[in-house]
A and B are shown apart, each in its own frame.
Chain A
Amino acid sequence: MNPLLEVRHLSISFHTYRGLLEAVHDVSITVHPGETVGIVGESGCGKSVTSQAVMKLLPQGAAEYRTGEILWEGRDLLPLSESEMNGLRGRDMAMIFQDPMTSLNPVLTIGAQLCEGLALYQKLSKQEQRTRAAELLKAVGLTSPEKRLDQYPHQLSGGMRQRCLIAMALSCSPKLLFADEPTTALDVTTEAQVLDVLKKMQAELGMAVVLISHNLGVIAQMCRRIYVMYAGTVVEEGTAEDIFYRPAHPYTKGLLASLPDPSDREKVLTGIPGQAPDLFHMPKGCRFYRRCPQAMKACMEAEPPREEAGPGHHYTCWLAAAERRRGDGTH
């Protein structure tokens, strides 16, 4: 199967008053049609920048695509003009944002905002648009959808607004949906319901979803394949089982060791010492070595190589190379 989206060796820098800041470094991500891919990492690791880069939503002038290419169904998106991108955004790829409070326009009704996309891409009459909008709201589980169309965002709760945003993103049945921390601002019982809606809509429409989250629980429940990002790079990729049952990179292991175990209250959470590096003063070698419990001399000196831990399970670390060298030494 041909991939829907292929990001190859993408590096993105921002021009800031302190100089050039590299937010994303050599990131490669593949998304196949219909699959759910998770990008997990802590704040500032570049997960949101990566998704916005694919949709070319980064501020022009400030952001610079340094290297790499973004292939959408085999076609490179980087040379495309703004109007060509507009043909893709909304129709082929859509996005839902973290904050349901600020991503809706407060002076327009839900109906007006929903119909905007429909009017743009589908030739429907005003009445048909309204009917379709009501159907969409019903599909994402809003009660009395007809009434909601005439309401303003402030009349709805956070969970309802996030459902509206999902309905808007899905209005043109996109092939790929970016969900950037879609439930972070919501309470747990609302979060569970919104994730259920997302799962249901994905199954119905057969679209691919890229779910971006810092919450390992959300990622585990939703995604088949996972990319773990740290300080602007992908440090590990694999299936959900690979990442949660057989983590290979010390950072992934540290993240999992930071989570409490519901069945063992006495578990000692080891976590990860220190804090993420300043993007302006990135270490020369591995970006994780200052916090890594297994750091060696090699980690300080050069970027770690990409290693294979199993089929489709890759990580970037010096440990495997050191292991091999040690093995050679004994023979």
Chain B
Amino acid sequence: MALIEAKELTKQFVIDRNWLGRPKKVLTAVNRVSLTIEPGETVGLVGESGCGKSTFARTLLGLYPKTDGDVFYKGRNIGEPEIGKDYRRQVQMIFQDPYASLDPRMTVEDIISEPLRNYGLCSDDRERRQRVADLLTQVDLRPETAQRYPHEFSGGQRQRIGIARALAVDPECIFCDEPISALDVSVQVQIVNMLKRLQEDRQLSYLFIAHDLSMVHHLSRRIGVMYLGNLVELGPSDAVFHRPLHPYTQMLIASVPRPDPNYRRTTLVSGEVPSPLDVPTGCVFHPRCPYCDERCRNEVPVLRSVGEERFAACHHVKGGTD
């Protein structure tokens, strides 16, 4: 059974209201996205800025109230009160900006012990301090640093504090929203390797969001590709990276700069992402798509199975059933 399942999850933001206070203009940031996360699995989510990947993670976690769709945790709807409470503890999040996501007026100990207090996980101060020290050791920070403030740490160290905070309540799944994009290459590897080690030690699941495709490919078992709020392709990491089916995925992967002086890109890359307030009709990718025809302009493609564990939302991808 899937640990977490999103079913046609939709998130709309109201941009403008009429004089009755009814929505006049809405922005669909996440459009009927279905995705599962299995226990111990890493699911990568890629796409360009504004494609809705962060909004999806936040809506899935419940940080944003969903507009439509359902979220199931171990097969039970998180709308049920006792399930929702458990879910919020078992799923934690680490954020992109290691500078903005830690309260500058709290010591590291306060930051990490806040979730412990919230859930009443420690009976006394001594036990709590011991837990904080253990957590700091697990993220390769010295326990003596507990009394320091966030500004005394570098970006990579702050990200470790954020991870320790997420681990404090012993969760089953962590949503990582661009956890390494603000870091230098050599520090990125340290964080990625640590996430991998923690996953092995604790059987963690990750929803790993990043725009660095090669790192997502390295870390994830499956990859989902989002474009303008829609999940356009989903499949095993290697298959999506080396044999992309959706024309957008093909363009995205061709754009990744390879650290090889003799690599030459063959796929044509053109066009820009349209405004999410003015979404194209039919397939959202059709204005940039080299294979676009009449059907793409009028008919919205749905995500359908096109092979073993592979899904794509495109009229031109062969195989599978509609």
Docked pose: A259 CA to B272 CA in angstroms: 28
Decide yes or no whether A72 CB sits under 8 A from chain B. no
Residue of B nearest to A160 (CB): B272
B260 in contact with A244 (CB, 8 Å): yes
Decide yes or no whether B27 CB sits under 8 A from chain A. no
Residue of A nearest to B269 (CB): A192
Decide yes or no whether A144 CB sits under 8 A from chain B. no
Docked pose: A43 CA to B187 CA in angstroms: 11
Decide yes or no whether B263 CB sits under 8 A from chain A. yes
Q: What is the interface size of chain B, counting residues whose CB is below 8 A from a CB of the partner?
A: 41
A177-208 interface bits toward B, Cβ cutoff 8 Å, 1 = contact, 0 = none: 00000000001111111011000000000000
Select A216's contact among B185, B190, B211, B252, beta carbons within 8 Å: B185
Decide yes or no whether B237 CB sits under 8 A from chain A. yes
Docked pose: A271 CA to B193 CA in angstroms: 9
Q: A188-B213, A265-B238 are in contact. Are A220 and B186 (CB under 8 A)?
A: no
Docked pose: A254 CA to B187 CA in angstroms: 11
Report B-chain residues with C-beta under 8 Å of the C-beta of A193. 269-270
CB distance from A79 to the nearest CB of B (A): 36
Q: A258-B185, A260-B215 are in contact. Are A220 and B257 (CB under 8 A)?
A: yes
- Residue of A159, A195, A259 with most partner-chain B CB within 10 A: A259
B184 in contact with A216 (CB, 8 Å): no
Decide yes or no whether B148 CB sits under 8 A from chain A. no
Decide yes or no whether B289 CB sits under 8 A from chain A. no
CB distance from B98 to the nearest CB of A (A): 13
Select B257's contact among A157, A218, A244, A271, beta carbons within 8 Å: A218
Residue of A nearest to B221 (CB): A265
Q: A192-B254, A217-B259, A221-B258 are in contact. Are A260 and B186 (CB under 8 A)?
A: no
A interface residue count range (under 10 / 10 to 19 / 20 to 34 / 35 or more): 35 or more
Select B258's contact among A220, A245, A265, A269, beta carbons within 8 Å: A220
A255 in contact with B252 (CB, 8 Å): no
Docked pose: A276 CA to B185 CA in angstroms: 12
Docked pose: A254 CA to B271 CA in angstroms: 36
CB distance from B41 to the nearest CB of A (A): 14
Docked pose: A7 CA to B153 CA in angstroms: 35
B48 in contact with A188 (CB, 8 Å): yes
B185 in contact with A217 (CB, 8 Å): no
Docked pose: A191 CA to B251 CA in angstroms: 12
Decide yes or no whether B189 CB sits under 8 A from chain A. yes
B211 in contact with A187 (CB, 8 Å): yes
Select B242's contact among A192, A218, A262, A270, beta carbons within 8 Å: A262
A189 in contact with B48 (CB, 8 Å): yes
Residue of B nearest to A242 (CB): B261
Interface positions of A from 275 to 327, Cβ below 8 Å from B: 275-276
Report A-chain residues with C-beta under 8 Å of the C-beta of B251. 189
Report B-chain residues with C-beta under 8 Å of the C-beta of A157. 272
Select A275's contact among B156, B218, B256, B260, beta carbons within 8 Å: B156
Report B-chain residues with C-beta under 8 Å of the C-beta of A187. 48-49, 211, 273
Decide yes or no whether A256 CB sits under 8 A from chain B. yes
Decide yes or no whether B188 CB sits under 8 A from chain A. yes
Docked pose: A220 CA to B185 CA in angstroms: 15
Interface positions of A from 243 to 269, Cβ below 8 Å from B: 244-245, 254-262, 265, 267, 269
Report B-chain residues with C-beta under 8 Å of the C-beta of A241. 261-262
A221 in contact with B261 (CB, 8 Å): yes
Docked pose: A257 CA to B238 CA in angstroms: 20
B272 in contact with A159 (CB, 8 Å): yes
Report A-chain residues with C-beta under 8 Å of the C-beta of B262. 241
Docked pose: A314 CA to B238 CA in angstroms: 37
B141-185 interface bits toward A, Cβ cutoff 8 Å, 1 = contact, 0 = none: 000000000000010100000000000000000000000000011
Docked pose: A12 CA to B250 CA in angstroms: 45
Docked pose: A23 CA to B49 CA in angstroms: 33
Decide yes or no whether B217 CB sits under 8 A from chain A. yes
Report A-chain residues with C-beta under 8 Å of the C-beta of B271. 189
Decide yes or no whether B73 CB sits under 8 A from chain A. no
Decide yes or no whether A273 CB sits under 8 A from chain B. yes
Residue of B nearest to A196 (CB): B269
Residue of B nearest to A193 (CB): B269
Decide yes or no whether A215 CB sits under 8 A from chain B. yes
Decide yes or no whether B306 CB sits under 8 A from chain A. no
B256 in contact with A188 (CB, 8 Å): yes
Decide yes or no whether B137 CB sits under 8 A from chain A. no
Report A-chain residues with C-beta under 8 Å of the C-beta of B154. 275
Report B-chain residues with C-beta under 8 Å of the C-beta of A215. 257
Report A-chain residues with C-beta under 8 Å of the C-beta of B238. 265
Decide yes or no whether A130 CB sits under 8 A from chain B. no
A-B contact pairs, 30 of them (CB 8 A): A42-B185, A159-B272, A187-B49, A187-B273, A188-B213, A188-B255, A188-B256, A188-B257, A189-B48, A189-B271, A192-B254, A192-B255, A193-B270, A214-B185, A216-B259, A217-B258, A220-B258, A221-B257, A240-B261, A244-B259, A258-B185, A259-B185, A260-B217, A260-B218, A261-B218, A262-B241, A265-B218, A269-B189, A271-B186, A275-B154
Besides A157-B272, A255-B185, A256-B259, 18 other A-B contacts (C-beta < 8 A): A187-B211, A192-B257, A192-B269, A195-B257, A215-B257, A220-B257, A220-B258, A220-B261, A240-B261, A241-B262, A244-B260, A255-B186, A258-B185, A258-B186, A262-B217, A270-B189, A275-B187, A276-B184
- 5 residue pairs, one from A and one from B, having the closest CB atoms: A217-B257, A271-B189, A260-B218, A240-B261, A187-B48
Using CB atoms and an 8 Å cutoff, list the residues of chain A in contact with chain B.
42-43, 157, 159-160, 187-193, 195-196, 214-221, 240-241, 244-245, 254-262, 265, 267, 269-273, 275-276
